[in-house]
Amino acid sequence: MTPYLSLYLQSSIIRFVTLSNQHEYKDTYKGSEYWYIIFNGEKRIQTPITFSMVDIALVSKWWFKVVKQNTSSIFMRGHLKKQILKSIHHSRNHSIYSSKNIQTLKWTLNNKYLCNDSELDYKEQLLQLLPQLQTINLLFDGTVNNQVLRALKSIQKHRQDIVINIEFDTNGEYYDGDSKMEWPFYLDGFTPNTVSLSIIKLNPDEFSYYSDKFINKINDLQPESLNMYINRDDEYQHYNYGKIFNHLKMVKHVNIGEDDVDLGHLKYLFSCSTRLESLKLDLLSTALVGTGSNFVDWIEFCENIADTPTLKRLHLCEYSGAKKVVVPTILQGKKSLFQMAFESIWSRKEIHSSNIEYLALEHMPNLMSSNMWNTLCQVNCHNITKLLLTNGTVPKDMVPSLSRLIPPTQRLQFYQSMETS
């Protein structure tokens, strides 16, 4: 008698074998894996790779059939090949992929595919060869391919049920003056379901020249995520983000690093976006507590955080290039006001309690005070489930105050570095 397992049990077995935690037996983590655990509270789940699926499929004809039925996504790098998609479409016996089952296309295009057009007519043939396609996850790695974008705009127009998620990781190369890399005008009206924009090696001077084109790109795509990192060198570099913030109507996640963000510009972000969920910024706090500093923008920033119910993740870092800037003498009186404004995010009784679940402070000893931990302990800290304090943020004399926070907050995951500041 032929053994039979329900499709649910078959899928569960395959997931158990292939979807294991990455570095499952390690107890020490660093780099991106460390930050993933801090932010998500669990280890990163490893994406199933084709070799693992093939290994299972080779056990028997029966398991080959099971794998084929449960292989619903395919990963492709570079331009799609017609012969490969045709083999999937015709469901050849030797392939674990079948066009009857493929619902998600994970697709990466990088620099070397910038100028070349594919032999495949994406607009006409992609959906013919993958008729069950429901989701397209596309990463442009250092490139913007016009042929692909034209096709996606056409697909979106004729098949609105297909979800299109795009990530642009331009690494600063989009703004090198090459006319081939200008944002194409014909994409007006093309709005994917989700968009992530990343510029990792931003040169402020060059970017200022191209910022109008970038604004056009933002207005077209309405990104949910924006990542911008300055291309650091030995000199202090700085960019004015106010103009960009004015156009981020749909943004949920903002991450700006290697540059201190002017607090006065952040009011444009809060007034424009009503969906902001996570905010990660570099600040120059030492300038805020020194001679000649102005607290108006800092107070307004803290009030905006408290008044934004969608904001769940707040990550503030002391600007790592602060040593390049002439910092005024820190005044204790202003430091106290600086701390009180931050505490007010949780202590203001006339408004709803903050919804922040993840709070991270790096190199921020200027924010630490006993009163802050008393406020969090006694007032509205129950929403915070992840607290990250690193790189000298917590001086040793602050540990007793901090320790009182832990007993009443059973759900709190607490990470801190005991470096002295």
Q: How many CB atoms lie within 10 A of CB 181?
A: 19
Say yes or no to pLDDT of 399 above 50. yes
In a domain, 51, yes or no: yes
Say yes or no to pLDDT of 21 above 60. no
pLDDT of residue 308: 93
What percentage of the chain carries pLDDT values higher than 70?
64
pLDDT for 185-196, tens place per residue?
A: 667 778 788 888
As a whole number of angstroms, the distance between CA 167 and CA 110 comes to: 12
When pLDDT is cut at 50, 70 and 90, the band that residue 318 belongs to is: confident
In a domain, 381, yes or no: no
Q: What's the pTM?
A: 0.77
In a domain, 63, yes or no: yes
When pLDDT is cut at 50, 70 and 90, the band that residue 178 belongs to is: very low
- When pLDDT is averaged across residues 39-60 and rounded to a whole number, the result is 61
In a domain, 134, yes or no: no
As a whole number of angstroms, the distance between CA 304 and CA 285 comes to: 18
3-state secondary structure the chain: CCCCCCHHHHHHHHHHHHCCECCCCCCCCCHHHHHHHHHHCCCCECCCCHHHHHHHHCCCHHHHHHHHHHCCEEEEECCCCHHHHHHHHCCCCCCCCCCCCCCEEEEEEEHHHCCCCCCCCHHHHHHHHCCCCCEEEEEEECCCCHHHHHHHHHHHHHCCCCEEEEEEECCCHHHCCCHHHCCCHHHCCCCCCEEEEEEEEECHHHHHHHHHHHHHHHHHHCCCEEEEEECCCCCCCCCCCHHHHCCCCCCCEEEEEEEECCHHHHHHHHHHCCCCCEEEEEECHHHHCECCCCCHHHHHHHHHHHCCCCCCEEEEEECCCHHHCCCCCECHHHHHHHHHHHHHHHHCCCCCCCCCCEEEEECCHHHCCHHHHHHHHHCCCCCCCEEEEECCCCCHHHHHHHHCCCCCCCCCEEEECCCCC
Say yes or no to pLDDT of 133 above 90. yes
Say yes or no to pLDDT of 374 above 90. no
Parent domain of 7: 1-70
pLDDT for 328-344, tens place per residue?
A: 556 677 788 888 889 88
As a whole number of angstroms, the distance between CA 199 and CA 219 comes to: 17
When pLDDT is cut at 50, 70 and 90, the band that residue 181 belongs to is: very low
In a domain, 2, yes or no: yes
Say yes or no to pLDDT of 314 above 90. yes
pLDDT of residue 390: 82
pLDDT of residue 270: 92
In a domain, 214, yes or no: no
As a whole number of angstroms, the distance between CA 250 and CA 248 comes to: 6
pLDDT of residue 174: 45
In a domain, 403, yes or no: no
Mean pLDDT lowest for which of 36-50, 231-245, 339-353? 36-50
Total tally of structural domains belonging to the chain: 1
In a domain, 161, yes or no: no
Give me the chain's average pLDDT, please. Answer: 75
pLDDT of residue 305: 93
As a whole number of angstroms, the distance between CA 371 and CA 393 comes to: 15
